[in-house]
């Protein structure tokens, strides 16, 4: 089937292949018995010139994986290692996915990566498949994160494949799908760790230069590229972690192979949105010690950045690499404060005021366990929201003495100029949320009746919320390919705020975090 003419917005740029075959394995996609298109993200497709494909061509390229014009001739299963729950695993790599294509969208180089596309040399005995439920969950997670101002990978396509899979963590046999996501980069922290493990300094240096050229070009003139890249990656990651915290999002599996150099949220597995700000809230049933719980996410990512620093130390200056991470927790706290202010629909008042609000907000909600989504909904607009909040279902609680400090902080702030946002947000009596009970109900409609209506309606509601809020303060520069520049820094990001343990970020990392600087055993 010939590919229809693609518009000028289709700008192929396959660059990963330039790194050489030490970084990947050429693989063939699986052949599936059926191809039922379940989701096509027209909004994302338009950014990379794929929106004019008809459904047949869409499936041909994004489920059968016929190469796109002038792009990668064959899929690449990428090689990497990683720490999984802080245990080093040298047997990782793309086990059920591959890099399919790379395209320019404005200044950004974006990847099309797959999940459930078949076995690779790194499948480790797995079947290389993805459940349809897993694809739907990732779609819902990505859409809600995007609406709440998180820099996140997006689900471009979901195609059901007609296979029946056996899984221990969901009723089986269960339906299968192949998914394609669109994101900045599939260069993971574990990509660097693998080269350090192999003591391959030549390719480690090449990977640093490649990452700088494609994703952080403003660093090109730096004398110490490894330290400059680490500092930029830490700032980009801090913005994402801060946005997670403001959204109440719990990634679930913050392993180093699930973190990429451009810092966006991706490869989330058993994710959840926390109903309140309980720091011990955990998403993954297998995270029995709460290593990746809501409140420990900033520390967990800091530990991962330390492992990246350890890998880069083979070609960089260790003291300089250490200094590159010094501002990470301050950046995370400031990012959370900025995104919380935006989510509450409050006018900007500077970093100090945002930090003050963050401290009282997190303290009151953690102590009271008030529902995060409801509080943000009720008090959207600050002083302009008082009458509405007091008339709502939690109105009596908002008049209690223990809520008074937060009420005063909210009423001291005026509403942001967000156009029709209040009209859209308050068109419904309940906040638009994505808690686990609703996620399960959305999947049940598909599993029991093959009814996709509830998922379609939910995505539409989430997108209305996102459109009403507008791009968050952390997302707008990210969409423009400006991932880290100091000129984009929020006020005060370079300073470690006082009393950090009392703010919205996790407490200072425990001594155990420093132990992760030990090189992995070979």
Residue 297: phi and psi, rounded to 5, are -60, -45
Query: What pLDDT shows up at residue 60?
Result: 98
DSSP state of 394: T
Report pLDDT digits (tens) over 308-358.
999 999 999 999 999 999 999 999 999 999 999 999 999 999 999 999 999
Residue whose entry in the numeric block shows the structure tokens 């996102």: 466
Instruction: Identify whether residues 93 and 208 lie together within a single domain.
Output: no
Question: For the chain, how many structural domains are there in total?
Answer: 2
Are 176 and 289 members of one domain?
Answer: no
pTM as predicted: 0.91
Question: How far is residue 218 from each of residues 187, 212, 242, 486, measured CA to CA in Å?
Answer: 18, 8, 24, 11
Residues 262 and 397 in one domain: yes
142 in a domain, yes or no? no
Report angle CA 257, 259, 262 to the nearest 5 degrees. 135
**Shared domain check, 403 and 515:** yes
Name the residues annotated as catalytic: 257
Angle (deg, nearest 10), helices 189-197 and 297-312 = 40
Distance in angstroms (rounded) separating the CA atoms of residues 522 and 517: 15
85 CB-contact burial (10 Å; exposed 0-12 / middle 13-18 / buried 19+): middle
- 146 found inside a domain: no
Amino acid 425: pLDDT: 78
Report yes or no: 409 and 357 within 8 Å, Cβ to Cβ.
Answer: yes
Q: Cα(255)–Cα(304) distance, rounded to whole angstroms?
A: 7
Is 505:298 a contact under the CB 8 Å cutoff? yes
325 and 365 both lie in a single domain? yes
**How many CB atoms are located within 10 Å of the residue 31 CB?**
8
Domain membership of residue 81 as a residue range = 16-135+153-186
Residues 220 and 105 in one domain: no
- Any domain includes 429: no
496 is a domain residue: yes
The pLDDT value given to residue 479: 67
Mean of the per-residue pLDDT values for the chain? Answer: 90
Q: Are residues 77 and 110 in the same domain?
A: yes
Residues found in the chain: 522
Same-domain status, 377 and 307: yes
Q: Is 510 domain-assigned?
A: yes
Residue 155 pairs with which residues in a beta bridge? 181
Phi then psi for 519, rounded to 5 degrees? -65, 145
Residue 349 lies in a domain: yes
d(CA 487, CA 495) in angstroms, rounded, equals 15
Residues 6+ apart with CB under 8 A from 385: 345, 378, 379, 410, 415
Please indicate, yes or no, whether residues 99 and 214 belong to a single structural domain of this protein: no
Q: What does the radius of gyration of the chain's CA atoms come to, in whole angstroms? A: 22
Helices (H), 318-394: 318-324, 328-343, 351-368, 372-378, 386-391
In a shared domain, residues 482 and 349: yes
The pLDDT of residue 61: 98
> Concatenated DSSP letters for 275-306?
SS--TT----TT-TT-TT-GGGHHHHHHHHHH
Task: Output b/e per residue, 168-201; b: 16+ Cβ within 10 A.
Answer: eeeeeebbbbbbbbbbbbbbbbbbbbbbbbeeee
Query: Which residues lie below 8 Å from residue 222, measured CB to CB, with a gap of 6+?
Result: 228
Angle at 480 between CA 476 and CA 485, to 5 degrees: 85
Q: Are residues 164 and 200 in the same domain?
A: no
* Same domain for 201 and 168: no
Contact partners, residue 319, CB within 8 Å, separation at least 6: none
By the 8 A CB rule, do 270 and 251 touch? no
Asked if residue 435 is part of any domain, the answer here is no
* SS3 (DSSP) at 204: helix
- CA–CA gap between residue 279 and residue 294 (Å, rounded): 5
- The total of other beta-carbon atoms located within 10 Å of residue 488's CB is 17
Q: Which residues contact 92 (CB under 8 A, 6 or more apart)?
A: 80, 81, 82, 84, 122, 190, 257
Which residues of the chain register pLDDT less than 70?
1-2, 418-421, 476-522
Please report whether residue 485 resides in a domain.
yes
């Amino acid at each position: 089937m010939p590919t229809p003419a693609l518009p000028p917005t289709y700008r192929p740029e396959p660059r990963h292949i330039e790194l050489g075959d030490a970084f990947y394995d050429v693989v063939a996609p699986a052949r599936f018995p059926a191809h039922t298109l379940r989701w096509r993200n027209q909004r994302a497709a338009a950014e990379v010139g794929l929106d004019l494909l008809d459904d047949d061509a869409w499936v041909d390229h994004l489920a059968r994986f016929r190469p796109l014009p002038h792009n990668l001739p064959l899929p690449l299963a990428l090689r990497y290692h990683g720490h999984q729950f802080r245990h080093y695993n040298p047997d990782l790599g793309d086990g059920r996915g591959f890099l399919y294509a790379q395209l320019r969208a404005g200044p950004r180089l974006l990847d099309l990566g797959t999940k459930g596309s078949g076995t690779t040399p790194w499948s480790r005995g797995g079947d290389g498949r993805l459940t349809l439920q897993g694809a739907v969950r990732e779609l819902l997670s990505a859409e809600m994160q995007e609406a709440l101002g998180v820099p996140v990978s997006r689900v471009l396509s979901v195609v059901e494949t007609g296979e029946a899979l056996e899984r221990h963590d969901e009723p089986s046999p269960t339906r299968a799908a192949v998914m394609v996501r669109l994101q900045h980069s599939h260069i993971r922290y574990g990509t660097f760790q693998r080269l350090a493990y192999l003591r391959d300094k030549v390719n480690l240096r090449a990977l640093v230069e490649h990452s700088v050229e494609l994703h952080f070009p403003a660093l090109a003139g730096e004398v110490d590229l490894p330290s400059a890249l680490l500092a930029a990656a830490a700032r980009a990651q801090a913005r994402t972690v801060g946005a997670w915290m403001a959204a109440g999002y719990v990634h679930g599996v913050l392993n180093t192979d699930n973190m990429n150099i451009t810092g966006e949220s991706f490869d989330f597995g058993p994710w959840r949105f926390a109903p309140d700000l309980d720091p011990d809230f955990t998403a993954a049933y297998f995270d029995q010690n709460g290593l990746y719980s809501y409140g420990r996410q900033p520390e967990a990512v800091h530990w991962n950045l330390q492992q990246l620093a350890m890998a880069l130390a083979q070609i960089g200056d260790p003291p300089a690499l250490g200094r590159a991470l010094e501002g990470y927790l301050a950046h995370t706290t400031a990012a959370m404060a900025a995104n919380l202010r935006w989510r509450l629909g409050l006018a900007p008042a500077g970093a100090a005021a945002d930090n003050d609000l963050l401290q009282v907000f997190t303290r009151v909600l953690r102590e009271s366990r008030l529902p995060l989504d409801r509080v943000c909904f009720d008090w959207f607009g600050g002083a302009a929201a008082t009458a509405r909040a007091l008339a709502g279902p939690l109105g009596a609680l908002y008049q209690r003495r223990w809520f008074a400090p937060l009420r005063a902080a909210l009423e001291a702030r005026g509403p942001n100029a967000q156009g029709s946002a209040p009209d859209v947000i308050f068109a419904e009596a309940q906040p638009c949320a994505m808690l686990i009970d609703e996620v399960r109900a959305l999947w049940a409609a598909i599993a029991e009746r093959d009814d996709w209506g509830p998922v379609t309606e939910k995505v539409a509601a989430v997108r209305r919320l996102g459109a009403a809020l507008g791009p968050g303060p952390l997302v707008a520069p990210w969409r423009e390919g400006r991932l880290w520049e100091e000129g984009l820094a929020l006020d005060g990001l370079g300073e470690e705020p006082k009393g950090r343990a009392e703010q919205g970020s996790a407490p200072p990392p425990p001594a155990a975090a420093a132990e992760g600087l030990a090189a992995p055993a070979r």
